[in-house]
Amino acid sequence: MEKLRRVVKEIAFAQDYTKLSTLHQTLIPILSLASSLYKVVLSIRHYLYHLGFFSKHRLPVPVISVGNLTWGGNGKTPMVEFMASWLADSGISPLILTRGYAGGDEARMLTRHLRGKSVKIGVGANRAATAACFLKRHGYLDPRDYLVEGNWHEQGSRINSRKIGVVVLDDGMQHWSLQRDIEIVMVNGLTPWGNHQILPRGPLREPMKALKRADVVVVHHANLVPNRNMNTRIPLDIICNGAVLCVSAIGSANAFVQGMEKMGTLYVDRLDFSDHHSLRDTDIEMIRMKLKELEDKFGFMPVVVITEKDYDRDPEILRHLSPYKVMALCSELQIIPCRCNGDDDFKKLLKDIVEVKFLGANQN
């Protein structure tokens, strides 16, 4: 199954099908048929929402959706953390709604990163029901108290309430049952749209025209896109001039590996698993064999680098790979200034959109 997933992903991001293997070529017609059926299902679902057959829930506080148009590796979780941290620092307590996919590794990471801040995290597939439960338990702020009276930050600091002021919807672009006031779409700058095909033949969750729903589009991994001169400083001196094995089960392993290569590492090898994959005994054995090969090749012990999400999914990996050193790479979203616009301008843009869309909707 893991091999099949890898093959499907290679097809989804292939730029030249003539270079694919016979196995890849054999699967393309099957994937194309499945994609056509999936597109029909999407159209029917969208039409039923349009007719009102399926209802959209409106929460009493602004909802900021962070989602993507393609599968995994688009930086949703760092953006959710950025938004929640900013709101909490402004005195407005946010509620993060996440589905808790694959054992809730993302929820655990967010909980650890946001510890000490007035942030609540609700986990559940039915995010409208989860939100209702949290709003009933903690109460909520009237958005007009901090949206209309001057500076948002000043008003939030004055209120400084533990009541919920804003909901941040994680992976919300295709979660149509909950109305949102801001649609933030994350795009992987290294492989924006793959082969431009719908799942499962391509990486698109919806047709490209769905991008029109976005209020804000954020390019993730912008510092890795060619023709950018960025200096990335990560306190991992131990890997400089050494051999590194990147082990990951995330949506965009290429960006993870390229980031490690930019840090001056002597040699970088990799083992990629499908997104949210939980390591089995056979996987651990395969990792150990790869580490032994690198040790024999270079004459010293290589270092294993995993992502923080992978660590939260399987913290026992640190023990299973002893005596090899295992390090978890932590990430934090950084707004890259462009045309004199920085993170303050980004926050102001979000504030302006919330004021216009949320207050306007409540006045109609």
The DSSP-derived string for 237-266 is GGGTTSEEEEEE-SS-HHHHHHHHHTTT-S
For residue 29, pLDDT over 80 is answered with: yes
356 in the same domain as 325: no
pLDDT digits (tens, 9 = 90+) for 209-225: 898 899 999 988 877 77
165 in the same domain as 84: yes
**pLDDT confidence of residue 232:** 38
CATH of the domain at 247: 3.40.50.1980
256 in the same domain as 187: no
Reference 239, options 334, 326, 315, 331; nearest CA is: 326
Number of domains in the chain: 2
146 assigned to some structural domain: yes
Average pLDDT in the 272-292 region?
88
Are 204 and 194 contacting, i.e. CB atoms less than 8 angstroms apart?
yes
What do you get for the CA distance between the two ends of the chain, in Å? 51
217 in the same domain as 274: no
User: Is the whole model's pTM more than 0.85, yes or no?
Assistant: no
Q: Domain of residue 292: give its range.
A: 243-329
Is the CA virtual torsion 332, 69, 166, 338 positive or negative? positive
CATH of the domain at 170: 3.40.50
- Please identify which residue in the block is written with the tokens 């996919």: 101
- Alpha carbon dihedral 23, 28, 31, 37, in 10-degree steps, equals -160
pLDDT digits (tens, 9 = 90+) for 142-189: 887 777 554 555 555 555 568 999 999 999 999 999 999 999 999 998
**Residues of the chain above pLDDT 90, percent:** 42
For residue 243, pLDDT over 50 is answered with: yes
276 in the same domain as 213: no
Poorest-confidence range of 129-138, 266-275, 316-325, 346-355? 316-325
Poorest-confidence range of 156-160, 280-284, 337-341? 156-160
